[in-house]
Amino acid sequence: MNSQLRWKFIFIAAVILLCIYGLIGVPTFPTSWGQVKQNLADRIKLGLDLKGGSHLVLQVQVDEAIGQRCDQAVDQITKQLHEKNISVGEIRRVDDTHILVRNVDPNTSGAFRDLISNQFTDWALTPAAGEQNGFVVAMKPSIVADIRRDTMDQALETITRRINALGLTEPTIAFTGRGENEILVELPGEGDPTRAKSVIQAGGQLELKRVADEQTFPSEGAALASHGGILPPGSEIVVGKAESTQAGQSPQPVYYILDRAPIITGQDLRGANPAPSSNNPGQYEVRFQLSTASAARFGPFTEANIGHRMAIVLDHKVYTAPVINGRIEDSGIIEGNFSQESAQDLSLVLRAGALPASIKYLEERTVGPSLGADSIREGVRASIGSIIVVMIFLVIYYRLSGVNAVVALALNLLILLAFMAYAGAVLTLPGIAGVILTIGMGVDSNVLVFERIREELRSGKAPASAVAVGFDRAFLTIIDTHVTTIVSAVFLFLFGTGPVRGFAVTLVIGLLSNVFTSIYVSRAIFDWHLSRMDRQAQLSI
């Protein structure tokens, strides 16, 4: 063996060792087959389609958050106009980002312009089309983009906190990068995502508000009518949780008139925990504690309103409206037919914070663990079975050279798997498709080379030069086929989504390692064989 060939084999051996290390680590002797399998399973990450688990795609309704900002601006502008004695005919929100102000008094329109441009810097003022003395106040596009980004970041954070609090194993929470405002949640091993879904979706917006009118009403209209069609300033009508007052009756909704501004919001909470209900045995309630700063507000408020009612509003719905019996410093209770689990979930949601906007589920895939196990077993069994058949055939057809091809194929698979383990790539069902194409093209590369060598031998060349020419000629073809496929795989990776990407990743890795094994390794083995055999002997091909 000459020194160049020796270095080639040292390099190949190093690659093999590195791959084995990547796949199963350093085996501790004595090692068992089960231990090797366990190590392998730890290193090759399986996708949800193979492992089982839930895959959720949800969309954050970002426009809601933008609309909310718009509502706030309407309130603030109205207040400022009032203070500055600027009279306008009408001010209302047109859509999520536009406010229409009509009939601004011509004498004060200068003051109006100044107000908007000085105090509402996030907004741009333009004259309204077709209106005299009318203006459109529009949110600046950069501000819209900011809100969009902040809302998404906050939603991701909140959902992450909630999922982590559920204590599930290795969840993935990330932007999908696919559609707008989409978040991907993957819960490996979770066969029933119902609870996780409801915890994610819960708004979690807690508000404590003063009840403005001690009465409750059967409908919104009745509430409005009792005040002559005009609500007291700064108040709003909020629907209550429907509860049947008498046995046998279907629950009737109840309406409350509350102060618009909350005394306490979810951000003021220090903690929330479930506890068995003290009033209704068998049921649970959620007890919450306030931060020091908000307790300093809450104490005086409750003292001033003893005998009045206070509403506990969760996601714009009144849960309970108890009468304040005495000064309360820093704690409260949410009652309402909770089971232990739902009380737990609500506490968790309150602790994790509110979502900045509501969410909608776009996609849910749940693969049961048994189906995932079946897919692996059947897929792997079928793949191994067919690879063995192919290898046997190669040895029969090409004799000793066939052994060479078998070595190259096996090494190709080893490198592919090891690289996936190193890169932390996830093996999915479409990924297995990539493996199959890799094997197909690996067989093809060997066949191309061997057929070429046979051709050269037939034309009367000596074994050594036939091998050299065969590899050289086939090299160009192999490069062309591989580069073409890699080019397409790169495009698939760039423009495709999940499954298509999984296919592209395994394919690229597999093809790169195939170029190495079917040209470099296979050639080295041939050279080694040629260096040992008699110059006149026939090549076993």
Partner 1 sequence: MEFFRNVNVDWMGKAKYFVALSLILLAVGWASILRNGGLRYGIDFRGGTLVYVRFAGPAPVDQIRKGLQAAGLANSSIQSISDNVLNGNSQNDVVIGIEKKGEGDEALDASKQAILDVLHKTFGTANTAGKRDFNSITPSSLADYLTQKDPLSLSTNAGDRYNQLAQRLTDARDKQHGGIVTNFDDLKNVDGATPGVLSALKDGFALDNFTIRDVEVVGPKVGAQLRRQAILATLYALAGMLLYIAFRFEWVYGAAAVIAVFHDVLITLGFFSIFHFEISLTVIAALLTLVGYSMNDTIVIFDRVREDLRLMRREPFAQVVNKAINQTLSRTILTSGLTFLTVLVLFLMGGEVLRAFSFAMVVGVVVGTYSSFGIAAPIVVLWNKYRGQGTAARAGSAADKRVTAAARR
Amino acid at 527: D
Query: Tell me, what DSSP letter sits at residue 213?
Result: S
- Out of 95, 114, 170, 192, the residue judged to bind partner 1 by CB under 8 A: 192
Interface with partner 1 (CB under 8 A), residue from 499, 512, 520, 540: 499
Which of positions 266-325 make contact with partner 1 (CB under 8 A)?
A: none
DSSP 8-class letter at 189: T
Amino acid letter, residue 366: T
Q: Does 88 participate in binding partner 1 (rule CB under 8 A)? A: no
* Residue 217 contacts residue 226 (beta carbons within 8 Å): yes
Closer CB to partner 1, residue 203 or residue 369?
369
Among 100, 224, 239, 433, binds partner 1 (CB under 8 A): 433
Of 202-210, 228-236, 302-310, 475-483, the window that binds partner 1 (rule: CB under 8 A) is 475-483
User: What distance lies between CA 151 and its chain's CA centroid?
Assistant: 15
Could you tell me whether strands 45-46 and 426-427 are parallel, antiparallel, or unpaired per DSSP bridges? parallel
What is the amino acid identity at position 16? I
Which one of 13, 322, 480, 537 is in contact with partner 1 (CB under 8 A)? 480
| Range in contact with partner 1 (rule: CB under 8 A) among 2-10, 89-97, 253-261, 436-444 | 436-444
Q: Which is nearer to partner 1, 59 or 302 (CB)?
A: 59
| Residue 466 found at the interface with partner 1 (CB under 8 A) | no
Alpha-carbon distance of 517 to 8, in angstroms, equals 12
The Cα 382–Cα 310 span in angstroms is: 67
Residue count, binding to partner 1 (CB under 8 A): 85
In 3D space, the residue among 14, 24, 18, 22 whose CA is nearest the CA of residue 521 turns out to be 14
Q: Rule CB under 8 A: is residue 189 a binding residue for partner 1?
A: yes
| Surface-to-core class of residue 130, CB atoms within 10 Å of its CB (0-12 exposed, 13-18 middle, 19+ buried) | exposed
Q: Min. distance of Cβ 395 from partner 1 in angstroms? A: 10
Tell me: does residue 500 bind partner 1 (CB under 8 A): yes
- CA–CA gap between residue 526 and residue 471 (Å, rounded): 10
CA gap 375, 202 in Å, rounded: 34
Residues 219 and 257 sit within 8 Å (Cβ to Cβ): no
- With CB under 8 A as the contact rule, the residue among 381, 400, 423, 472 that binds partner 1 is 381
Selected binder of partner 1 within 339, 490, 531, 537 (CB under 8 A)? 490
Kindly state the tokens that stand for 418.
């090891």
Task: Select from 377, 400, 423, 472 the one that contacts partner 1 (CB under 8 A).
Answer: 377
Q: Taking the CA atoms of 347, 353, 354 and 360 in sequence, report the sign of the dihedral they define.
A: negative
190-198, 274-282, 325-333, 338-346 -> range binding partner 1 (CB under 8 A):
190-198
Per CB under 8 A, which of residues 164..183 are in contact with partner 1? 167-169, 178-179
Q: Shortest approach of partner 1 to residue 444 CB, angstroms?
A: 4
> Least distance (Å) from partner 1 to the CB of residue 336?
23
Nearest to 64 by CA among 281, 233, 267, 315: 315
State which of residues 143, 447, 462, 512 lies at the interface with partner 1 (CB under 8 A): 447
Chosen residue from 222, 303, 440, 531 binding partner 1 by CB under 8 A: 440
Angle subtended at Cα 298 by Cα 292 and Cα 303, rounded to the nearest 5 degrees: 135
Q: Does 495 bind partner 1 (CB under 8 A)?
A: yes
Q: How far is the CB of 37 from partner 1 (least distance, A)?
A: 12
CB of 459 to partner 1, least distance (A): 12
- Euclidean distance between CA atoms 425 and 513, whole angstroms: 16
Residue with the two structure tokens 């495709």: 496
* Surface-to-core class of residue 100, CB atoms within 10 Å of its CB (0-12 exposed, 13-18 middle, 19+ buried): middle
Binders in 204-223 for partner 1, by CB under 8 A? none
Residue whose structure tokens are 């020194």:
3
- Tell me if 481 contacts partner 1 by CB under 8 A: yes
Query: In whole angstroms, how close is the CB of 367 to partner 1 at the nearest point?
Result: 5
> Could you write out the DSSP letters of every residue in 21-43?
HHHH-SPPSS--HHHHHHHHHHH
Residue 448 CB, shortest distance to partner 1, in Å, is 6
Site for partner 1 in 386-415 (CB under 8 A): 386-387, 389-390, 393-394, 396-399
Residue 139 or 504: the one with the smaller Cβ distance to partner 1 is 504
Options 34, 476, 532, 536; binder of partner 1; rule CB under 8 A: 476
**Which residues are CB-contacts of 418 (< 8 A; sequence separation ≥ 6)?**
18, 19, 20, 22, 23
Q: Give helix 522-532 / helix 463-495 axis angle, nearest 10°.
A: 170
Cα 299 to chain centroid distance, Å, stands at: 42
Helix ranges (H only) for 271-368 are: 292-304, 340-352
Q: List the one residue from 150, 487, 531, 537 that touches partner 1 (CB under 8 A).
A: 487
Span 357-376, contacts to partner 1 by CB under 8 A: 360-371, 373-375
CB of 492 to partner 1, least distance (A): 5
Task: Assess 32 for contact with partner 1 (CB under 8 A).
Answer: no
- Interacting residue with partner 1 among 441, 453, 468, 521 (CB under 8 A): 441
CB of 416 to partner 1, least distance (A): 15
Q: Select from 421, 364, 494 the least CA-distant residue to 24.
A: 421
Residues 49-68 close enough to bind partner 1 by CB under 8 A: 49, 57
Give dist(CA 262, CA 235) in Å, integer.
Answer: 11
Which of residues 439, 468, 505, 524 is near partner 1 by CB under 8 A?
439
Q: Residue 157 or residue 444: which is nearer to partner 1 going by CB?
A: 444
